[in-house]
Amino acid sequence: MKRYFEYSQGTSNKFWEITLKAAEVGTRYGKIGAKGRSTTKSFGDAAEAKEFAEKIIGEKTAEGYKEKL
């Protein structure tokens, strides 16, 4: 699963992307148009990774990020 979000308000133009692959969650974030920074977090199993991914997607959308399909 890979999902991409953007936040544009005032002078902020940011992106945030999340990738869920088995028991790993990767994120990439930064200013729109830039390469951005990446992080990867490993979990004990795929269910734990999915639960974490859903939690942080909820946090980002609450902050105002909108998913781009």
Quick: pLDDT tens for 13-36.
999 999 999 999 999 999 999 999
Residues 6+ apart with CB under 8 A from 51: none
> How many residues are given for the chain?
69
Query: In the chain, what are the domains?
Result: 2-67 (2.20.140.10)
pTM above 0.75, yes or no: yes
State the Cα–Cα distance between residues 6 and 21, nearest whole angstrom.
21
Q: In degrees, to the nearest 5, what angle opens at C-alpha 27 toward C-alphas 40 and 49?
A: 60
Quick: pLDDT tens for 29-65.
999 999 999 999 999 999 999 999 999 999 999 999 9
Asked if 65 contacts 49 with a C-beta cutoff of 8 angstroms, the reply is no
